[in-house]
Chain A
Amino acid sequence: MAPHNPFDTSATSFVPPGSKYVLGTDDLGRDLLSQLLYGVRTSTLVGGLAAFIGAILGIVIGALAGYYGSVVDDALSRITEVFLIIPGFFLALLIISFYGRSIWYVAIVLGILSWPQVARITRAEFLRVRESSFVESARAIGASNRQIVFKEILPNAISPALVAVMLQIPRAIILEAGLSYLGLWDPSTVSLGYLLYSSRAFYYNAWWLAIFPAMALFVVTLAFNLLGDRVNEELNPKLRNLVFSPLRS
């Protein structure tokens, strides 16, 4: 899809946006549009992976806490709270400076940082659904714990958690961009934050180097936020039928 190889430096430096290089070239003569496209891909990948890791961890921990309650709930909730009070950005900084720069580390770190919110929501949902009559009935007819959790509770409790996961994606993208902007990027890959970081020295020479990545970052995060809203609407029966629901009831 990209018109040029994003690492190809054969073009002249600082070509302004035009017909050959649609968004211009950077200081080393790389095509900005191609870099942007790769950057969006990297950012989405990192965001998606982080959200996925966060979702798995969060839902499992939240489910355990919510379903079993008592001691398990207490222990897991305290762990969740500990993770919630850790300043995520600084933990990410620390881990990356210790273990090296790689987008996989960034994704994993962001995933580890984003699970507590999901876990809390899942736990709350589990607590609510656990007490409902259909779970009682399932339990009454002798369903196993696994059956109850996966067949009865999870489908009814997962939608708010999924919405929270969707909203973790733009958050992870922004965090990744922040880390890259501080220079903690993986130089073998292109990311939006790194594009912004390297444009810093050339504000006066090449405005396009800062403007376009910033716009791309804005558009990508906005898109994921809107997607999250949409998922929320689709999954929540009350919201899905918002227009009709007052009339019906």
Chain B
Amino acid sequence: MNEEEYYEYNCEKDYNHLNNTSENVCFQRPRLRQSDASYNLFNSIMTGNITVFATTTNAVSIVVYKCAINMCTRTIPTTRTINLCRMLVDCCLSKLKTKLCAIFLTIIIIVALNFSHVSGQPVSNPMYGGTFVVALDGDPDTLNPSITTSTYPQQIGGLMFSNLLSYDANFKPHPDLAQSWDVASDGLTYTFHLVHNATFHDGYPLTSADVKFTYTQVLPKYMSTMVKPLSYVSSVDAPDNYTVVFHLSKPYTPLFLLLSTPNEGGGILPAHLYSGTNVLTNPNNYAPIGTGPFKFAEWQKGQYVKVVRNNNYFKAGQPYLDQVIFKVIPDPTTRALALQNGDVNFLWFYTLPSSEVSRLRANPNLVYKSLVPAAPDEVMMFPNERNRILNNTDVRHALNYAINKTELVQKVTFGLAKEARGPIPSAYGPAAFDPNLPAPEYSVSKANQLLDKAGYPRQSNGTRFSLELTWIVTLGEMGRAAELIKSQLALVGVNLKLAPRDRATLIDTVFNRWNYDLFIHSMGTDPLPDVGVARLYVSSNIGHNAFNNGAAYSNSTIDALWADAATTTDSAKRTQSLYRIQEILIQDMPMIWLWEVNDYSIYTGDFGGVDPPTTSNGAYYFQEVYWTKGSNVSPQSAMQAIVDAQSKLTALAKQGNNSTAAWTLLQQAQAAYKSGDYASAQRLAAQAVQSSGSQGSPWGLTAGLAVIVIAAIVGVVLLRRKRAQARKD
């Protein structure tokens, strides 16, 4: 990947609500610097390596060189260490100038002694082990990510299932279950080559049959985001066990961007457990068997869901955590306190009220991350076009002018969100979001003018008309926004009656009976504008489906443009259509866009690898999270060491050389493995082999000691010589 691009994408303006300044926040910056530096370091070491061994056979120079490598590969590559390494390597090359080398050897020894002080933290290599606790506000309804777009099944199920591809922040596909793929030039045939080593948690190998089953029997029927995209797929073929071919009836570009679990593409389900059953009621939905990095362990309803490491995960070396526990804590204040106490390791914008952020952010034990905008979710107000007053475009524009979005962002989201610009959230980037859209304008006078023009003069009591504003009562943020909007609209003479409803009643009122004036809600626009955004505006979606075009907006130009955008294979044309859609929608104002949902997370500082989701339905994935206090040794290699030791001891025992001490050590190693201390397990296994009298010594330690001793001797010898010379002189 182009590092430059990556770097730029991740630098976003972050509105600092505390002092109203904006600052650049780049999440990948430290990592990039590190990789950049490591690259330099690697280069200088490699050149050194080749030259040293090619040009000189001098033992001392090789020792110096090895010290250099030792030192350089174990510290955080900073400019200082890189320069030091370069100098060391140069020293080796410069025909061993004794004086210089004496100085460097002294430096090496000093550095080696003060190792931890000089280098600060160790390189943030993923460590193995640990339990990661995530708090949820309620039980998930299922754990199967292929039958619902609901966040918790996506998040928890996403750890237990995999899909064909994964995507980075730029929607660039990366291999997952598909190790490689080809797309025919006409955009009608996609061929995926599956990995050969993926197995389900029950031991069955994953084959093309499972993929075919999922994409023909499950996703097109039950996964709402996939129904439309998969309607373009005429057939799915499985020519052999590890090849899957998708045939499309006509080109549909967005499909290729949906074939991953985080993008709400579902997970590949085991055909041997699902075929011939009712997918929605299959018991496997509550105790899943998948191919993901974690295995299902336990679900105590109303308390927690526990998943544990899958040691047979097809990506070698992953995952890092021993287990992830999703703990149900209904009260938001209690969740924040649990994070503060360390009982919970991770909260994100779904589970952490924005009012708590500034306080927790100040806590030195917690890490705050935010990506604005990251989740392509928008809070918007639906004006019902069946209402005589709201059917007037001028009135909708007037409401838009009268609502102060900056104040909403400041007071309702505590400055953690960003004002919305239009129907497509800016998180989609310039490929879909038109950066030249005008910023929303707040103007009471313009609103008043438009309302006068629309024929609603102020009556004697100062109001023009009354409207009812509804929202789902459990969404506290919406309620606070509604109260604020009520006071803002009062300034232009619009009287709002606030009528919160519970979720079921609201869906019935708004989307079934269409009996509402204004409705405010946070709408996910994921996974792609063609699916998440289009559903609200295309006229074919006027109907009784919840969270669709309930406002009854209809514009044939818009319908045609959405169709163009989805079926063109030319990305420039697609962008053009999407830009045009935004322009028209902003003129028509079928929706009043308020703010883009912010994405923030706070987690305890002893974990690493927590990255904000790149394409978000608000679900975080913890595949690459690791515990910084864990061990360097992977459980697989520790287990390997134990197995090796066991076989060696057994072999020795057969030769009559049975050592009880060795067997005790081996048992200790097994105990350590069970308790998750993989480093000790490996060490104990090695000790067991050693104490059994067989070959094998901790040569690394010996070699390291030898290097230091030799270096010291050489240094002393050189110094003595120098002194002797000085005396002679």
Contacts and interface: CB of A to CB of B under 8 A. Distances in A.
The 9 A-B residue pairs whose C-beta atoms are closest, nearest first, are A187-B498, A9-B487, A201-B355, A28-B411, A7-B487, A28-B484, A13-B411, A204-B359, A188-B498
Interface string A7-35: 11100010000000000000111000000
Contacts of B332: 201
Nearest to B490: A7
A133 interface: no
Contacts of A100: 499
Contacts of B473: 183
- Of B359, B497, B499, most buried by chain A (CB within 10 Å of CB) is B499
A205 B411 contact: no
B220 interface: no
Contacts of A198: 480
Given A200-B333, A205-B359, A9 B484 contact: yes
Contacts of A204: 356, 359
A203 B484 CA distance: 21
Interface in A164-220: 183, 187-188, 198, 200-205
Nearest to B474: A183
Interface string B473-495: 11010011011101110100000
- Of A97, A188, A202, A203, most buried by chain B (CB within 10 Å of CB) is A188
Contacts of B484: 9, 28
- Of A29, A201, A202, most buried by chain B (CB within 10 Å of CB) is A201
A97 B359 CA distance: 35
A205 B353 CA distance: 12
Contact of A187 (B356, B407, B479): B479
B500 interface: yes
- Of B353, B410, B483, B498, most buried by chain A (CB within 10 Å of CB) is B483
Interface string A67-84: 000000000000000000
A28 B476 CA distance: 13
B353 A8 contact: no
25 contacts: A7-B486, A7-B487, A7-B490, A8-B487, A9-B483, A9-B484, A9-B487, A13-B410, A27-B355, A28-B483, A29-B411, A97-B502, A101-B500, A187-B482, A187-B483, A187-B500, A188-B498, A200-B333, A201-B333, A201-B355, A201-B476, A202-B355, A204-B356, A204-B359, A205-B359
Contact of B411 (A8, A27, A201): A27
Nearest to B337: A204
Interface in A16-69: 27-29
A206 B86 CA distance: 56
Given A9-B484, A201-B356, 9 more contacts: A7-B483, A27-B355, A28-B484, A97-B502, A183-B474, A201-B332, A201-B333, A205-B355, A205-B358
DSSP majority for the B interface?
A: helix
Contacts of A188: 497-498
Contacts of B502: 97
Contacts of A202: 355
A204 B356 CA distance: 8
Nearest to A7: B487
Interface string B395-438: 00000000000010011100000000000000000000000000
A201 B499 contact: no
A87 to B, nearest CB: 21
A100 B500 CA distance: 9
Nearest to A8: B487
A13 B482 CA distance: 16
Nearest to A13: B411
- Of B353, B480, B482, B487, most buried by chain A (CB within 10 Å of CB) is B487
Contacts of A205: 355, 358-359
Interface of B: 332-333, 353, 355-356, 358-359, 407, 410-412, 473-474, 476, 479-480, 482-484, 486-488, 490, 497-500, 502
A200 to B, nearest CB: 7
A196 to B, nearest CB: 14
Given A187-B482, A187-B483, A201 B500 contact: no
B353 A201 contact: yes
A27 B408 CA distance: 11
Nearest to B477: A201
A173 B473 CA distance: 23
Nearest to B336: A204
- Of A27, A187, A188, most buried by chain B (CB within 10 Å of CB) is A187
B100 to A, nearest CB: 60
Nearest to A102: B499
A202 B414 CA distance: 12
Contacts of A187: 479, 482-483, 498-500
Nearest to B496: A188
A200 B479 CA distance: 14
B489 to A, nearest CB: 11
A100 B358 CA distance: 36
Interface string A92-130: 000001001100000000000000000000000000000
B483 to A, nearest CB: 6
Contact of A203 (B333, B480, B486, B499): B333
A34 to B, nearest CB: 13
A42 to B, nearest CB: 15
A179 B490 CA distance: 28
B476 to A, nearest CB: 7
Contacts of A183: 473-474
Contacts of B486: 7
A198 B482 CA distance: 14
Contacts of A29: 411
A7 B355 CA distance: 21
Contacts of B353: 201
Contacts of B411: 9, 13, 27-29
Contacts of A8: 487
Given A13-B410, A205-B359, A27 B480 contact: yes
Contacts of B355: 27, 201-202, 205
Nearest to B408: A28
A29 B412 CA distance: 10
B649 to A, nearest CB: 58
A94 B300 CA distance: 30
A27 B487 CA distance: 14
A199 B380 CA distance: 25
Contacts of A203: 333
Contacts of B497: 188
A7 B483 CA distance: 8
A87 B497 CA distance: 31
A100 B490 CA distance: 23
B16 to A, nearest CB: 16
A25 to B, nearest CB: 10
A75 to B, nearest CB: 37
Nearest to A100: B499
A9 B333 CA distance: 25
A198 B500 CA distance: 15
A28 B333 contact: no
A193 to B, nearest CB: 15
Nearest to A184: B473
Contacts of B410: 13
Nearest to B354: A201
A183 B480 CA distance: 13
Interface string A128-171: 00000000000000000000000000000000000000000000
A183 B498 CA distance: 13
A8 B498 CA distance: 15
A200 B487 CA distance: 22
Contacts of B483: 7, 9, 28, 187
A27 B499 CA distance: 20
Nearest to A9: B487
A9 B355 CA distance: 17
